[in-house]
């Protein structure tokens, strides 16, 4: 008998694999999913303080939370078999996939080398594509109506100087989500993405070091905020929940309105 008290945002009974789930946006998503009742398997690179804190916080919500260490920056055939085997052992029955792992290691365009570009694409695009393929094959065999969420970026639609590889990768994520939707939705598998604007993560710690840059970014955001990554957690829960059953192939921007504003007028006191 169906639990009549279950809300559309309740993820109790689900099991989620979150790549890059130990810090930043990934940690915020992991904790939010755990808070909504989902068991979580965090895929990270290091068993460090950040990973331990995230795991402990997830477990404090009363769910099962495990850590799987692997490097997703190489070729999928080198890490996928081991990742799937470990996932089956640590948290069998995964039906939610969050492709969150990513990096920003750009150099200026005329200094960009192939290895840096390829590492960016491997982490931000390739890992999610082939992990999705591998799990969807399983889900179809097992009759599981899985749900997939990618972490994109506002840089998938708006660009910055010296972000050529990163912007290319995030544009690819947005296109991939649309393409995977038309491939997988007829099979009962839902695919969406969330795309943060500027949020505070280990990759944006420069905001804590440069007050002028911080003020400039607040000025470029209609709600005037540069929040922590926790703002992404609720969005992830929504997109993976029953409430978003008819939301398919979309990238939901979590950006305080930044992408809606062509350019703000600087205040009279602003000195260029």
Q: Is residue 155 part of a domain?
A: yes
Interval 137-195: pLDDT, tens: 999 999 999 999 999 999 999 998 999 999 999 999 999 999 999 999 999 999 999 99
Residues 6+ apart with CB under 8 A from 192: 148, 149, 150, 177, 181, 239, 244, 247, 248, 249, 250, 251, 252
CA–CA gap between residue 76 and residue 127 (Å, rounded): 7
pLDDT score of 210: 75
Residue 5: band (very low, low, confident or very high) from pLDDT cuts 50, 70, 90 = low
pLDDT score of 272: 55
pLDDT average, residue stretch 49-64: 98
Residue appearing with tokens 């350019």: 263
Structure tokens at 205: 């710690």
pLDDT average, residue stretch 250-269: 87
Q: Is residue 138 part of a domain?
A: yes
Residue 242: band (very low, low, confident or very high) from pLDDT cuts 50, 70, 90 = very high
Structure tokens at 151: 């972490």
> For the CA atoms of the chain, what is the radius of gyration?
19
Structure tokens at 143: 């009759």
Residue 270: band (very low, low, confident or very high) from pLDDT cuts 50, 70, 90 = low
Domain containing residue 75: 15-201+228-258
Q: Is residue 2 part of a domain?
A: no
Element (H, E) at 96: strand 96-99
Cα 41 to Cα 16, 54, 141, distances in angstroms: 6, 11, 22
Q: What is the mean pLDDT of the chain?
A: 93
- In total, how many domains does the chain have? 1
Residue appearing with tokens 């690179």: 45
Sign of CA dihedral 33, 37, 43, 46: positive
Cα 179 to Cα 19, 158, 227, distances in angstroms: 21, 20, 31
User: Which of 84, 98, 117 minimizes the C-alpha distance to 38?
Assistant: 98
pLDDT score of 226: 84
pLDDT score of 45: 96
What CATH number is given to the structural domain containing 128? 3.40.50.720
Q: Is residue 9 part of a domain?
A: no
Residue 204 has pLDDT above 90, yes or no: no
Q: Is residue 263 part of a domain?
A: no
- The percent of residues in the chain predicted with pLDDT above 70, rounded, is 97
pLDDT score of 1: 36
- Of 65-74, 102-111, 172-181, 216-225, the range with the lowest mean pLDDT is 216-225
Give the bridge partners for 192, in sequence order: 149
Q: Is residue 181 part of a domain?
A: yes
Q: Is residue 208 part of a domain?
A: no
Strand 190-196 with 251-254, pairing? parallel
CA–CA gap between residue 258 and residue 261 (Å, rounded): 6
Residue 120: band (very low, low, confident or very high) from pLDDT cuts 50, 70, 90 = very high
Residue 200 has pLDDT above 80, yes or no: no
- Of 71-85, 178-192, 206-220, the range with the lowest mean pLDDT is 206-220
pLDDT average, residue stretch 99-124: 97
Strand 65-69 with 39-44, pairing? parallel
pLDDT score of 271: 64
Residue 228 phi/psi, 5-degree rounding, is: -75, 170
CA–CA gap between residue 272 and residue 267 (Å, rounded): 11
pLDDT score of 2: 43
Q: Is residue 210 part of a domain?
A: no
């Amino acid at each position: 008998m169906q639990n009549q008290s279950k809300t559309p945002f309740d993820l109790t009974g689900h099991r989620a694999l979150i790549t890059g789930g130990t810090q930043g946006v990934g940690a915020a998503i992991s904790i939010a999913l755990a808070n909504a009742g989902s068991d979580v398997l965090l895929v990270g690179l290091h068993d460090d303080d950040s990973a331990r804190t995230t795991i402990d916080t997830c477990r404090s919500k009363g769910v099962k939370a495990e850590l799987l260490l692997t490097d997703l920056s190489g070729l999928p055939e080198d890490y996928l078999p081991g990742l799937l085997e470990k996932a089956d052992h640590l948290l069998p029955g995964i039906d939610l996939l969050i492709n969150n792992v990513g990096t920003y290691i750009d150099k200026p365009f005329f200094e960009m080398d192939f290895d840096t570009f390829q590492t960016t694409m491997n982490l931000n695009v390739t890992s999610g594509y082939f992990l999705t393929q591998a799990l969807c094959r399983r889900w179809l065999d097992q009759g599981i109506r899985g749900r997939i969420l990618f972490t994109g970026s506002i840089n998938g639609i708006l660009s910055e100087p010296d972000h050529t590889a990163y912007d290319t990768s995030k544009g690819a994520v947005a296109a991939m989500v649309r393409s995977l939707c038309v491939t997988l939705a007829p099979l009962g598998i839902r695919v969406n993405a969330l795309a943060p604007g500027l949020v505070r993560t280990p990759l944006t710690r420069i905001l804590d070091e440069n007050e002028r840059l911080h003020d400039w970014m607040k000025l470029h955001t209609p709600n005037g905020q540069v929040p922590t990554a926790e703002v992404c957690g609720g969005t992830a829960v929504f997109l993976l929940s029953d409430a978003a059953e008819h939301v398919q192939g979309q990238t939901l921007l979590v950006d305080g309105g930044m992408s809606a504003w062509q350019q703000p007028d600087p205040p009279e006191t602003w000195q260029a």
